[in-house]
Amino acid sequence: MHSEESVKVREEQSFVEILISRVENLNALNPDVLQSLLLVFEKFERNSQKKVILIKGDGEKAFVAGADIKSMYDLGQRAIADYAELGQRVMRRIECYSMPVIACVNGYALGGGMELALACDLIIASKRSKFGQPEINLGIIPGFGGTQRLLQRIGIGTTRKIVYLGTIIEAEEAYKLGVIDMIVENDKFQEEIEIFARNLSQKAPIALMECKRVLRESTEPNLLMGLRYEVEGFIRAFATDDRKEGMRAFLEKRNAEFKGS
Ligand code: CAA
Q: How confident is the model at residue 2 (pLDDT cuts 50, 70, 90)?
A: very low
Q: Would you call 4 helix, strand, or coil by DSSP? A: strand
Q: How confident is the model at residue 1 (pLDDT cuts 50, 70, 90)?
A: very low
Model confidence pLDDT, tens digit, residues 120-159: 999 999 999 999 999 999 999 999 999 999 999 999 999 9
Q: Which of 69, 89, 144 to mutate to test the pocket of ligand 1 (most atoms within 8 A of CB)?
A: 69
Q: Which amino acid is at 154?
A: I
CB 168 within 8 A of CB 134: yes
Q: How many angstroms separate the CA atoms of 199 and 14, rounded?
A: 9
Site residues for ligand 1, CB cut-off 6 Å? 25-26, 28, 65-70, 87, 108, 110-112, 115, 134-135, 138, 142-144, 146
* Mean predicted lDDT score pLDDT of the chain: 96
Model confidence pLDDT, tens digit, residues 170-206: 999 999 999 999 999 999 999 999 999 999 999 999 9
Model confidence pLDDT, tens digit, residues 201-246: 999 999 999 999 999 999 999 999 999 999 999 999 999 999 999 9
Residue 115 bears catalytic tag? yes
Model confidence pLDDT, tens digit, residues 6-21: 999 999 999 999 999 9
> What is the pLDDT at residue 163?
98
Cα Rg of the chain, angstroms: 17
Q: Would you call 146 helix, strand, or coil by DSSP? A: helix
Statement: residue 165 has pLDDT above 50? yes
State the closest ligand 1 atom to the C-alpha of 112, by its place in the atom list counted from 1. 50
Residue 42 bears catalytic tag? no
Give the residue from 92, 83, 135, 139 showing the smallest Cα distance to 114. 135
Q: How many angstroms separate the CA atoms of 251 and 226, rounded?
A: 30
> What is the pLDDT at residue 5?
81
